[in-house]
Structure 1
Amino acid sequence: MLTHLPGFILPKHHRYLKVAKQILEVAHKVKLYRGDVLRAEDLAEQDRLAAQLVVLVKRSAPPAETEPAITSLHEVLVRNGGKIYPVSTTGDYVEMVVMAAIVAGAIRSFLLQPFKIPTNSMWPTYNGMTAEVRAPGSEIPSFGTRALNKIQWTWTYVELAPVDGEVKIPLDNAGFDGKDKHYRPRGRSPGEGYTLVVGNTPMVVDVPVDFGLEGVLLRTYYPDYAKLALRRQDNDRWDKLLVQAGRDGRIENGPKGPMLLTGYKVKAGQPVLNFDILTGDMLFVDRVSYHFVNPSRGDTFVFKTNNIPGLADRNGNPSQNYYVKRLVGVPGERLRVDDDGRFLVNGKVVTSPEPMVLNSERATDRGYYGYLADLGDYAYAIPLNKEYTVTDRHYYALGDNSSNSFDSRGWGEVPEKDVVGKPLFILHPFTSHWGAAK
């Protein structure tokens, strides 16, 4: 917008006409926003001068005629414009911010939506929160490194022992198979973090709600077990470890339940854990394409969960989350997972896309451990140990990280109407995943 027009020299005819059109837009805006507070005679003068300038613009009048008309209207607008005209720096900035917010909201609602992946159910295709684990006695990252890591959304955790003693991991009982008693690491306490014990003193490790500390504990104290290529990954690794620990007498029963004796002893103030948590992938989700084409088997897709009863809370309130999974079955397709962890559609092993093929081949060197047929006895579970036909207007969804994904095997199908879009671009962090989404 021009804030000063008298004496302004525009050598070309079309530039005068352009300025005339701009100031006519301002006159319309002033009338729209301030017409009810202006004196009738002031508004009438503005309308008269604007009408005269409209006539000159329509017949492409020469600069000798348009310049005086522009100047006259400008002088009236200076009196009538209030905070709208002349444009102040603050007013211009506020308008810019408001318009940017409107545009951003429109883009998010109709075109592209950012989506943060919190868990590793789609690993290794997409990353949720992951950990880089260091031995407790390793060098702690410097302040500068930690500050730089935060810019990359990476957080460093160094947990110090409260007293001298051996580090112990609390366990929960997980049944008995007739030969060995089974345990599993105790999860986080409600409303708190994970608990470890040093000597006989408990210490709480507070990590994000969506982050499981079990993998960090395994890689800290039992790195050899963490490398085992087992079907259920960390679940099977812990089971194998704890069965052997029970046989070796390394599980003690105390007043607060069973505990695994790690054999790692520390002094007060020494690190018990030393690790970084890396943020999950941030995606842009394409909300447009599925308005014109139907989702296909093999697509990764984002969907709402408020119409999936199996994800409602204990009070029956619907979930408000968005999930990203791989669409593995469309209406009418017959799905099954065989005993070798291969995924079958209509009786044949899948041949695309690559992640589904790699999972069916159990390509553990690439991070794919095969499919699991079921997740257990959930109310809305649809296991795949026998053939299942996808119902009309629904999709069947699985995570690529089959042993660590809660998906259609546990909570049922995805309604067609709740599909939001498909991942388009991974914009953060700047890792090997950055770029076009797979």
Structure 2
Amino acid sequence: MAQNKSKPEKKEKEDPKANEPITRKHRKGGKQFLKDVDRFIRYNRDLIEEKNHAKIEAVKASFSETLTAEDTKRGELKDSAESLRKTCEKSVKGYQPSWWRENIESIFVVLLLVMAIRTYFLQPFKIPTGSMQPTLNGVIAYEDRSLQGNTKPDPSEDKFAPEGYETPGVLKQFFDKLWYGRTHINWVADRNLVIDPRSLSEKNRYYYFTRTYLSSFPDEEGRVKTFSAPGTSARIGKMINEELDRDPRTGGLLAPKGTVIARGFVDTGDQVFVDRFTYHWRKPKRGEVFVFNTRGIRGIEMSGSFDPRGGSQHYIKRLVAVPGDEVEVKAPNLYIDGEIAQEFGMQRVMAAEGDYSPGYTGNYGPQKLGPKQYWAMGDNSDSSFDSRGWGPVPEENIVGRGVFVFLPLGHHFGPIR
């Protein structure tokens, strides 16, 4: 008699933590999973029948209830996610489920790991302004001077590309990107355009990368031409050709075919790692470079540059005084408790050598700091909006200390001092 040699069905290994309650991180991972399901529905909307769509929504609602319930166990959340995954797969005939099957268990693990690193250890941060130059570079735009007409440059703000500047070849552009974080800009009208200056705007991608956009008015065929470049609108806006004539009908800028609309290059700022861990174990120290959020700092929130629609921002400065210190500025020196500050970072600014000239500017104080108050100043003292303008930083606002520049590879790559 022939024996049945079929392989025994493989049993799924039991999770020893299945009966443990889910944590806040699991809930965050679950919310991301729901977003992935919504994305699946959008991409396959034309393939999902109405009855199957209703099934997905019902199972999705069940998963949401499991996710938000206070007593949910890890195993229950996993089973509910698996049910939702299978429902999605079955809703599309011939759908290949390999990615979902292989990643349904690991998706939570990966998300939780990324969130844990970002929340408790290291967080990337991009330097937005020049307040910490030359220690750290913010966004710097180098304009083509030949496009700026008779506008008188501001030495503290305007920087220019070398005379006769031309956009380099691909290899040079690649090197510049890695070494300087540099993007070369050469916006040329490929047809007759009327540029809408009011369209100049910036968007943050992934809450990290800022990019500026400029568009034309629709032409006779309804076509709109959009240009874009990394950097803030304030910086990119300075690169626009000031010799373009105005269109009396729209108020736009006339750019006949072949006209240069903007040219130059942008160094998009140092990218640093912020240590969010150390300050859980010790107090911030005088002289460190630190990052903090601006929530509740009235001097910042009342300033003209603050946009309440964007909520609180993150600033990076040098921590020059800690609770109990008396801080005072007498140009070019900084005094702590009546003595010249001894920390390396402040000594370097006060030496006023090279790009650190003219040292600390103006006269301020003395100002006595209370408990849990910290004093923040930029190394580029003459162009820094800091505690001299809006007061001390509350301890609860501190995010962490800047420890390492990881991009670009030139300039300041390495530990931050």
Q: TM-score w.r.t. structure 2 length?
A: 0.55
Structure 2 counterpart of 1:209: 232
Matching of residue 362 in structure 1 with residue 341 in structure 2: no
C-alpha contact (below 8 Å) 2:178/2:407 kept by paired residues: no
Kindly provide the CA deviation profile for residues 261-318 of structure 1, in whole angstroms up to 9, marking residues without a partner as x.
Answer: xxxxxx9957686421112111111111111111111111111111211122578779
1:393 equivalent to 2:372? Answer yes
Instruction: Check conservation: 2:178, 2:409, Cα contact below 8 A.
Output: no
What residue number does 2:314 align with? 322
CA contact (8 A) 1:192 1:206 kept: no
* 1:141 aligned residue (168, 174, 197): 168
Given that 1:284 and 1:423 are in contact with CA atoms closer than 8 Å, whether structure 2 keeps it comes out as: yes
The alpha-carbon deviation at position 437 of structure 1 amounts to 2.4
Q: Map residues 35-114 of structure 1 onto 2, 5 A cutoff.
A: 90-114=100-124
Question: Using a 3 Å threshold, how does the CA distance of structure 1 residues 300 and 30 change in structure 2: closer, same or farther?
Answer: closer
CA change 1:279–1:317 in 2 (3 A) is closer
For residues 198 and 361 of structure 2, what CA distance do their matches in structure 1 show?
29
* Counterpart residue number, 1:154: 182
Deviations 1:49-97 (A, max 9, x none): xxxxxxxxxxxxxxxxxxxxxxxxxxxxxxxx9999xx96652234334
SS in 1 for 2:279: helix
Q: Which residue of structure 2 lines up, in the alignment, with residue 41 of structure 1?
A: none
How far 1:144 moved relative to its partner? 5.4
Q: Residue 13 of structure 1 aligns with which residue? A: none
Contact 1:335 1:343 in 2 (8 A): yes
Structure 1: distance between partners of 2:189 and 2:162: 14
Which residue is 2:66 aligned to? none
- In the alignment, is the contact (CA less than 8 A) between 2:177 and 2:408 conserved in 1? no
Partners in 2 of 1:320 and 1:131 — Cα distance? Answer: 25
Match of 2:268 among 267, 279, 295: 279
Alpha-carbon deviation of 1:348? 1.5
Tell me which amino acid in the other structure corresponds to 1:322. H
Change (3 A) 1:31 1:409: closer
Paired with 1:161 and 1:136, the residues of 2 have a C-alpha distance of 22
Q: After superposition, what is the alpha-carbon deviation per residue over 1:218-247, rounded to whole angstroms, capped at 9, x for unaligned? A: xx9xxxxxxxxxxxxxxxxxxxxxxxxxxx
**Structure 1: gaps (5+ residues):** 8-22, 33-80, 163-188, 195-204, 221-266, 374-383
Contact conserved, 1:312 with 1:318, CA < 8 A, in 2? no
Counterparts of 2:124 and 2:319 in 1: how far apart (Å)? 20
Question: What letter is aligned with 1:141?
Answer: P
Larger Rg: 1
- Partner of 1:283, secondary structure, is strand
Partner residue, 1:119: 129
Identity %: 30
1:281/1:138 Cα in 2 relative to 1: closer, same or farther (>3 Å)? closer
Contact 1:135 1:274 in 2 (8 A): no
Superposed displacement of residue 344, structure 1:
1.1
Q: Distance in 1 between matches of 2:199 and 2:125?
A: 25
Q: Which residue of 2 aligns with 1:312?
A: 301
Of 23-32 and 310-319, more deviation after overlay is shown by 23-32
Distance in 2 of aligned mates of 1:31 and 1:393: 42
Q: What is aligned with 2:326?
A: 334
Partner SS for 2:411: coil
Output aligned runs, 1:162-181, within 5 Å. Answer: none
> 1:119, CA displacement in angstroms?
0.9
Alpha-carbon contact 1:119-1:211 (below 8 Å) kept: no
**1:192: how far off?**
3.5
The CA RMSD measured in Å over matched residues stands at 4.3
* AA of the residue aligned to 1:312: E
Secondary structure at the counterpart of residue 26 of structure 1 = coil
Distance 1:360 1:30 in 2: 57
1:209 corresponds to which letter in structure 2?
T
Query: 1:158: Cα distance to partner?
Result: 3.2
Cα 1:431–1:316 change in 2 (3 A) is: closer
SS of the aligned residue for 1:387 comes to strand
2-structure distance, mates of 1:138, 1:124: 24
Per the alignment, do residues 99 and 316 of structure 1 end up closer, same or farther by CA in structure 2, a change over 3 Å counting? closer
Question: In structure 1, which of residues 26, 40, 63 is the aligned counterpart of residue 13 of structure 2?
Answer: 26
Q: Do the aligned partners of residues 161 and 88 (structure 1) sit closer, same or farther apart at CA in structure 2, a change above 3 Å counting?
A: closer
Partner residue of 1:298 out of 287, 307, 313: 287
Task: Encode CA deviations 1:136-191: one digit per residue, 9 max, x unaligned.
Answer: 633322355446656775321236699xxxxxxxxxxxxxxxxxxxxxxxxxx876
1:370–1:150 Cα change, 3 Å: closer
Cα offset, 1:391, TM superposition: 2.2
Inter-CA distance 206–159: structure 2 relative to 1 (3 Å threshold): same
Query: Aligned partners of 2:257, 2:308: CA distance in 1, in Å?
Result: 46
Q: Report Cα offsets for 1:19-56 as digits up to 9, x if no partner.
A: xxxx8871458998xxxxxxxxxxxxxxxxxxxxxxxx
Classify 1:210/1:352 alpha carbon distance in 2 versus 1 (closer, same or farther; 3 Å). farther
Question: Are residues 29 and 385 of structure 1, via their aligned partners in 2, closer, same or farther at CA, if it must alter by over 3 Å?
Answer: closer
Residue 436 (structure 1) shift = 2.1
For residues 174-215 of structure 1, what are the alpha-carbon distances to aligned partners after superposition, in whole Å with 9 as ceiling and x for unaligned?
A: xxxxxxxxxxxxxxx876489xxxxxxxxxx98733654699
Contact 2:141-2:235 at 8 Å conserved across structures:
no
